[in-house]
Amino acid sequence: MSASEPGRLRFRVGGDGLRLRLPRPVEARGLAAQLRTAVRSSEIMLVMVAALIGVGAGIMVTAMSYVSQLAHVLFFGINLDQRLSAVDHVSPWAALLVPTAAGLLIGLIELWRRLRGSRVPVDPIEANALRGGRMSLKDSMVVSLQTIISNGGGASVGLEAGYTQIGAGLASRLGLWLRLRRKDLRIMVGCGAAAAIAAAFGAPLTGAFYAFELIVGTYSIGNVAAVTAASLSATLTAAALGGAPYALATAPVVGVHPIHYLMLMAIGLFACAIGIGVMQMTAWVERAFEWSRLPKWVRPAVGGLMVGALALISPQVLAAGHGAMRLDVPLNLPMKALALLIGLKLLGAMISLGSGFRGGLFFASLFVGALIGKFSAAVYGRWLPGFGLDPTACVLTGMGVFAVAVVGGPLTMSFLVLETTGDFTVTAPILAACVATSLAVRETFGYSFSTWRLHLRGETIRSAHDVGWVRSMTVGKLMRRDPRTIPAASTLAEFRRRFPLGSGTTVVVLDPTEHYAGLVSIADLHATELDADKDTLKIGDIAKLPEVALLPQWNIKEALAVFERAEAETLAVVDGEGDTGGKVIGSITEAFATRRYAEELDKANQGVMGEL
């Protein structure tokens, strides 16, 4: 059969005479297969796919925002051009009943998912850090629906979590259909999240750096074109459909001097302390709901009732707070009023998330940060009036630094301020304050809100850097399954007969129950100084590292750490610990483990640098 005939199968005979079936040429396959091949082999095609993802994300962001606003209009009786958090007052019945009903609906959805045995949804950070960019589109749609219900029902959360979830979910699904490589699939997830944030704020640079810092985990030549294309196309799509739902605008900043850098950085440290407190207290609120023994599906309804009660004090606790920010920033509010609003909004957000509502703290952090900035400006105006710090600079800095403390991403928040104001003079001091805040949070706490929530679930990741390949390289996959063994009761003479010099390096010693009892070196046991005792010396008496072994489920980094501490060249692998474990199932050398780790690390670095 001719191999040049398109559309026909080709065969060749292998070295052992076996006829092997080879893949058909690309031109002989279907349109979908040809498209997959083109995308995998061309960076330009990958960028075009990223732009398409941006269009889809822009449409989804606009649709979700419209549905949420429509819910506010229908259930709270506001005008279509009003923002819920900016109204003077809401009906007490609506304030109490609507969030409660929304919480009940959220709880029933979660109950239904548990009865069906559904998995916990994977967010973009977890997907990129542990799963190579793999996300479920169905789960992402459920999360986005729950976010709309939460925000539309007045819970004190934003839609950003739903935006990024559906954007990243769409991107991951498309990437899986195209059968993209792991590194390209991770970039596509970053494109989806970047597009969602860019469309929400009308800020393409903010969206791009959100992906670089928080979703992909790095800025590199290999991802900049695709992520930027997604952000730009999403921004243009949202603009064509009516404009970014979270667009911000502030007055220009007047004169920032060197001394003001220190004053703005002080705001960052203040925001750092509040942000860490909010993240920890959210976990405490969640534990309090668990200790209450309330059924899990009832907790969001109780949380909604509590948020509604706070709304009777001030409607600004409702929803994300976009309207409240536009209302509060120009006003000259007293310090007591600012402190009250900060406390109410943070309490509402903590109750909402701790009770089980879906949503994000991105915009809520910007709103609270703006209030913190106004409060700081009032403090400076009262106690340091001679320094002439513009209150608008304090507001913008507060927005950036508190968002950095909670969400992360100093460059992301700095670009958000830049794109919001168009004022380059304030960018440098705000960047300095954001970097100082980021360093303070990393040194004192180490988590953003997203990674803190993962930590509470038992995960150890602190960013979206790809560590999934490390976890997949387990000792069980790398070990040699036929280790050399000898009973501990054997004599040295017997050992030398079974393992002559040059026959290997290390032998595993077994106790009478055939459990692990240590290791011995073939070269060491052939030393001449042991000749006199070769007929009486027992192997078990000279075995080394009797309590040091590896477990098959440990990953490569954990194994290498044990090698380093034990200063061993070979270690045994046992099937468990304690009385029921200790059976030797394999062995592994440090040289082999190090080489495999280096090979995979080199592949990961090639993906970061955009190399083939």
Residue 570 has pLDDT above 60, yes or no: yes
Same domain for 22 and 46? no
The radius of gyration of the chain from alpha carbons, rounded to an integer in Å, stands at 30
Residue 368 has pLDDT above 60, yes or no: yes
Same domain for 293 and 309? yes
Question: Could you report the per-residue pLDDT of 309-324, keeping only the tens digit for each?
Answer: 999 999 999 999 989 9
Q: How many domains does the chain have?
A: 4
d(CA 265, CA 261): 6
Mean pLDDT of the chain: 86
Token pair of 488 as six digits? 């501990």
Higher pLDDT, 459 or 318: 318
Same domain for 420 and 545? no
Q: Which residue has the tokens 């294309």?
A: 229
Check residue 250 and give left, alpha or beta (phi > 0: left; psi -120 to 50: alpha). beta
pLDDT for 98 equals 97
pLDDT for 554 equals 87
pLDDT for 240 equals 94
What does pTM read for this prediction? 0.80
Q: What is the CATH number for 121?
A: 1.10.3080.10
Establish if 250 belongs to a structural domain: no
For residues 543 and 520, the answer to whether their CB atoms sit within 8 Å is yes
Looking at the DSSP assignment, which residues form a beta bridge with residue 474?
Answer: 555
pLDDT for 602 equals 64
Tell me which of 445, 464, 483 is where a domain ends: 464
In this structure, which amino acid lies at residue 186? R
Token pair of 255 as six digits? 């004169």
Residue 593 has pLDDT above 90, yes or no: no
Same domain for 53 and 29? no
Higher pLDDT, 606 or 176: 176
Same domain for 407 and 387? yes
Same domain for 505 and 551? yes
3-state percent breakdown (helix, strand, coil) of the chain, nearest 5: 65, 5, 30
Establish if 484 belongs to a structural domain: yes
| Residue 576, φ and ψ in degrees, nearest 5 | 170, 180
370 burial level (CB within 10 Å; 0-12, 13-18, 19+): buried
Looking at the DSSP assignment, which residues form a beta bridge with residue 571?
Answer: 588
Same domain for 453 and 567? no
Which runs of consecutive H residues, i.e. helices, occur in 386-485? 391-406, 410-421, 427-444, 449-456, 468-472, 475-478
pLDDT for 461 equals 66
| Residue 407, φ and ψ in degrees, nearest 5 | -90, -35
Higher pLDDT, 222 or 324: 324
Tell me which of 419, 448, 464 is where a domain ends: 464
Q: What is the CATH number for 501?
A: 3.10.580.10
Arithmetic mean of pLDDT, 222-239: 94
Q: How confident is the model at residue 331 (pLDDT cuts 50, 70, 90)?
A: confident
Residue 8 has pLDDT above 50, yes or no: no
Question: Could you report the per-residue pLDDT of 375-394, keeping only the tens digit for each?
Answer: 999 999 999 888 888 888 99
Arithmetic mean of pLDDT, 550-566: 86
Establish if 247 belongs to a structural domain: no
Question: Could you report the per-residue pLDDT of 86-112, keeping only the tens digit for each?
Answer: 999 899 999 999 999 999 999 999 999
pLDDT for 9 equals 43
Question: Could you report the per-residue pLDDT of 143-180, keeping only the tens digit for each?
Answer: 999 999 999 999 999 999 999 999 999 999 999 998 88
Q: How confident is the model at residue 526 (pLDDT cuts 50, 70, 90)?
A: confident
Highest mean predicted confidence (pLDDT) among 35-39, 430-434, 500-504:
430-434
Residue 4 has pLDDT above 50, yes or no: no
Tell me which of 213, 240, 267 is where a domain ends: 240
Residue 458 has pLDDT above 80, yes or no: no
Same domain for 477 and 440? no
Establish if 74 belongs to a structural domain: yes
pLDDT for 197 equals 95
Same domain for 10 and 148? no
pLDDT for 20 equals 56
Range of the domain at 126: 39-240
Highest mean predicted confidence (pLDDT) among 129-133, 369-373, 474-478:
369-373
In this structure, which amino acid lies at residue 322? H
Higher pLDDT, 569 or 459: 569
Residue 399 has pLDDT above 60, yes or no: yes
Percent of the chain with pLDDT over 70: 89
pLDDT for 358 equals 93
Arithmetic mean of pLDDT, 363-385: 93
Residue 585 has pLDDT above 60, yes or no: yes
Same domain for 330 and 459? yes
Establish if 253 belongs to a structural domain: no
For 360-413, give the DSSP string. BSHHHHHHHHHHHHHHHHHHHHHH-GGG---HHHHHHHHHHHHHHHHT--HHHH
Q: What is the DSSP letter of 252?
A: P
Same domain for 89 and 231? yes
For residues 165 and 140, the answer to whether their CB atoms sit within 8 Å is yes
pLDDT for 23 equals 58
Same domain for 552 and 430? no
Arithmetic mean of pLDDT, 417-437: 84
**CA 528, 534, 536: angle at the middle one, nearest 5?**
150
Residue 14 has pLDDT above 50, yes or no: no
Establish if 246 belongs to a structural domain: no
Which runs of consecutive H residues, i.e. helices, occur in 213-334? 221-240, 258-291, 299-313, 322-328
Q: How confident is the model at residue 611 (pLDDT cuts 50, 70, 90)?
A: very low
Establish if 252 belongs to a structural domain: no
Establish if 320 belongs to a structural domain: yes
